[in-house]
Amino acid sequence: MKYTKDHEWITLDGDVATVGITDFAQGELGEIVYVEVDTVGESLEAGDVFGTVEAVKTTSDLFIPVAGEVLEFNAEISEDDGDNPAIINEDAEGAGWIVKIKVNDPADVDALMSKADYEALIG
């Protein structure tokens, strides 16, 4: 798992990455009540906004960690399916993943922060 300064995490399986927000980000936002991702099928550059998360008191943009095409929005948290975005509150770095992307260059993931570097950032 790698991390960004914007509090997203990413794991890579071949050229497909899973992206979500960190436990730290979820804790800072508080209870997440809605997630919006309207970029499925779009190619984005690293740092582009791919969606938003809405907590009880705030809304926060989600930034794509590396360039690629958004393939999938986690149906378990999608409001469109009437399911439960609160899964992120319970398991932000697991079942609460937000999107899967086809990464343009898997080597880009290596340039992101390690867990130790991220922990130093939020320390």
Quick one: pLDDT at residue 78?
Answer: 75
Per-domain residue ranges of the chain:
2-122
Question: Reduced to 3 states, what is the DSSP secondary structure of residue 29?
Answer: helix
Q: Which helix (H) or strand (E) holds 100?
A: strand 99-103
Chain-centre distance for alpha carbon 47: 12
Where is pLDDT greater, at 57 or 116? 116
Q: Residue 73 above 90 pLDDT?
A: yes
Q: What is the pLDDT of residues 4-60, one digit of tens each?
A: 999 999 999 999 999 999 999 999 999 999 999 999 999 999 999 999 999 988 999
CA 86, 18, 73, 65 dihedral sign is positive
Whole-prediction pTM = 0.94
Closest CA to 9 of 80, 67, 63: 63
Q: How far apart are CA 68 and CA 121, in angstroms?
A: 25
**Is the CATH number of domain 2-122 2.40.50.100?**
yes
H helix count then E strand count, the chain: 4, 9
